[in-house]
Amino acid sequence: MASKIKTVFVCSSCGYESSKWLGKCPGCNEWNSFYEEKLSKTGDKLANGIAEKKSCKPLKLKDVEGREDSRVSTGFSELDRVLGGGLVNGSLVLLGGEPGIGKSTLILQICDKFKGNGKVLYISGEESAEQIKIRANRLEINNDNIMFLGETDMDIIQTAILDMTPRLVIIDSIQTMYSDEITSAPGTVSQVREITARIMKLCKSNGITTIIIGHVTKDGNIAGPRVLEHMVDTVLYLEGERYFSYRILRGVKNRFGSTNEVGMFEMKNEGMVEISNPSAILISERDDNPAGSVIVASMEGTRPLLIELQALTTPSIFGMPRRNANGIDYNRLTLLMAVLEKKAGFNLGNQDAYINVVSGMRITEPAVDLGVITAVASSFKNISIDKDIVMIGEVGLTGEVRTVNLMEKRLKESEKLGFRKCIIPESNRKLLKDEYKLDIIGVKNINEAMKAVGLR
């Protein structure tokens, strides 16, 4: 009598498993995310595998030999900054981004700059060797140690890696790989989880650095179960508009460095070109001085960036005024406008308000609050702010301008780019020790800030 095939229902968002179909996932609260999946017939294999495992004794942590020189440079100083100094030997890096953003281009350039550090194995389940060769010719790749394998079967891939023992392995992409031990289709939760686990074990046990390329969903998250991001050592996102040339590489997880750093690149015909001075690029097109435009100094990790904010207010033609934020948090914009209306007397209740961070950057730190408020006020009064002024400061609910950190770096960046005046919190101004060529004005609240820039 044939044995009955067992099935399980798996959530496509988080990987939660259930013996029956559920409308709502208990793990991530997603609706209609369960799909049926056949269980693999590997019970005997797993039992034998467990029986054959070697015994292992715990080690004292102080007896483990650690190497400080275990990092290898990628050849891009911007990427090394985000990684915390370079690729760590034996690490597993996940790179995500929208289609056409430049992930494969950046990876192929890393393979070229890896010259002299060992063999590179480029495994692609999406493109043929001819397609990769066409891109390599366009990018002028000339590393003779790059090997190509067009394969999606994990068993064949594992054999090739063990036979070749490369120093760097590229998997493009994780959603195309599959294992015969899992009966579901490639890209499903079970397949992605199993493939990632096998790659992780392989790279850790053999000291092979591995970079995995992952697809993203329409929400901007890496497709597949959330456990995928938990298993890898580093998660990088390549962001930017496909129709603009600038790209931002952001680290959202890094076991070997900070997650606050960003790297900036420009997509050109010859590939990704790193931008060593992003502030000059971000404000390069600011020739005139329109109302609603202001420069703010934001920190991305240890790097100060001068960024232009643009605001536009216009009388609402509907009963409910509209608010729109591009590059900053929408809720933060509505909060700051409420403070501006309550504490500074600006009647914004019948005004549509739009704010934009120029060049596609996204700012999350509160040190740009003062810039947002002055930009909105400038547009509302149709009065331009001097283009040589930089605004720095966090705004509280009572209208006070609060202290921000790393003020010295922000001021030095402003001074380097030729700005003449900085509006900063009074508490920060009292703590300054160095001498600056800037005219530094300390303010205690938003009303003092309005007077300092000529809006009162």
User: Do 228 and 112 belong to one domain?
Assistant: yes
**pLDDT number for residue 243:** 64
User: Do 255 and 188 belong to one domain?
Assistant: yes
CATH of the domain at 186: 3.40.50.300
Percent of the chain with pLDDT over 70: 90
Q: Return d(Cα 242, Cα 267) in angstroms, integer.
A: 10
Residue 432 lies in a domain: yes
Average pLDDT over residues 294-308: 90
Q: Return d(Cα 448, Cα 123) in angstroms, integer.
A: 60
Cβ 328 vs Cβ 366: under 8 Å: no
Average pLDDT over residues 8-36: 82
Cβ 377 vs Cβ 340: under 8 Å: yes
Average pLDDT over residues 253-257: 89
How do residues 62-85 score in pLDDT, each as one tens digit? 887 766 557 899 999 999 989 988
How do residues 329-378 score in pLDDT, each as one tens digit? 999 999 999 999 999 999 998 999 999 998 777 888 999 999 999 999 99
Q: Return d(Cα 367, Cα 390) in angstroms, integer.
A: 12
Q: How many CB atoms lie within 10 A of CB 300?
A: 22
Residues shown for the chain: 456
Which is nearest to 453 in space by CA: 282, 286, 315, 295?
295
Map tokens 């329409």 to a residue: 218
Q: Return d(Cα 83, Cα 70) in angstroms, integer.
A: 13
Under DSSP, is residue 401 helix (H, G, I), strand (E, B) or coil? strand
Map tokens 């208990």 to a residue: 26
How do residues 186-234 score in pLDDT, each as one tens digit? 877 778 888 999 999 998 999 999 999 988 766 656 656 567 888 899 9
User: Do 175 and 272 belong to one domain?
Assistant: yes
Long-range contacts, 16-19 (Cβ 8 Å, 24+):
none
User: Do 119 and 154 belong to one domain?
Assistant: yes
Cβ 371 vs Cβ 294: under 8 Å: yes
Residue 446 lies in a domain: yes
Instruction: Name which of 25-29, 375-379, 424-428, 440-444 the model is least confident about.
Output: 25-29
User: Do 318 and 401 belong to one domain?
Assistant: yes
Given 276, 301, 318, the domain boundary residue is 276
pLDDT at 294 over 90: yes
| Single-letter amino acid, residue 413 | E
pLDDT band, residue 61 (cuts 50/70/90) = confident
**pLDDT number for residue 191:** 85
**pLDDT number for residue 221:** 65
User: Do 308 and 325 belong to one domain?
Assistant: yes
pLDDT at 153 over 90: yes
**pLDDT number for residue 43:** 42
User: Do 335 and 396 belong to one domain?
Assistant: yes
Cβ 148 vs Cβ 119: under 8 Å: no
User: Do 35 and 18 belong to one domain?
Assistant: yes
Alpha-carbon separation of residue 436 from 133, 393, 404, 444 (angstroms) = 53, 18, 18, 21
User: Do 262 and 287 belong to one domain?
Assistant: no
CATH of the domain at 397: 3.30.230.10
Q: What is the mean pLDDT of the chain?
A: 86
Residue 60 lies in a domain: no
Q: How many CB atoms lie within 10 A of CB 232?
A: 24
pLDDT band, residue 55 (cuts 50/70/90) = low
Q: Return d(Cα 298, Cα 307) in angstroms, integer.
A: 7
pLDDT at 146 over 90: yes
Given 276, 301, 324, the domain boundary residue is 276
Q: Return d(Cα 239, Cα 166) in angstroms, integer.
A: 29
Residue 152 lies in a domain: yes
- Helices and strands (DSSP H and E) totals, the chain: 13, 23
**pLDDT number for residue 223:** 58
Under DSSP, is residue 257 helix (H, G, I), strand (E, B) or coil? coil
pLDDT at 284 over 70: no
**pLDDT number for residue 115:** 87
Residues spanned by the domain of 349: 281-452
User: Do 364 and 246 belong to one domain?
Assistant: no
User: Do 1 and 74 belong to one domain?
Assistant: no
- Check residues 46 and 23 and name the one with the higher pLDDT: 23
pLDDT at 44 over 50: no
In order, the DSSP letters of 204-254 are HHHT-EEEEEE-B-TTSSBSS-THHHHHSSEEEEEES-TTSSEEEEEEEEE
Residue 448 lies in a domain: yes
Q: Cβ neighbours of residue 201 under 8 Å, at least 6 residues apart? A: none
Q: Cβ neighbours of residue 263 under 8 Å, at least 6 residues apart? A: 76, 78, 79, 81, 82, 248, 249, 274
Map tokens 């040339």 to a residue: 245
Average pLDDT over residues 82-90: 91
Query: Residue 454 corresponds to which tokens in the numbers above?
Result: 């000529």
User: Do 92 and 182 belong to one domain?
Assistant: yes
Q: How many domains does the chain have?
A: 3
Residue 47 lies in a domain: no
Residue 65 lies in a domain: no
Average pLDDT over residues 247-259: 88
Instruction: Name which of 7-16, 45-54, 134-143 the model is least confident about.
Output: 45-54
Which is nearest to 374 in space by CA: 322, 296, 300, 316?
296
Average pLDDT over residues 411-420: 92
Average pLDDT over residues 300-310: 89
Residue 56 lies in a domain: no
| Single-letter amino acid, residue 58 | P
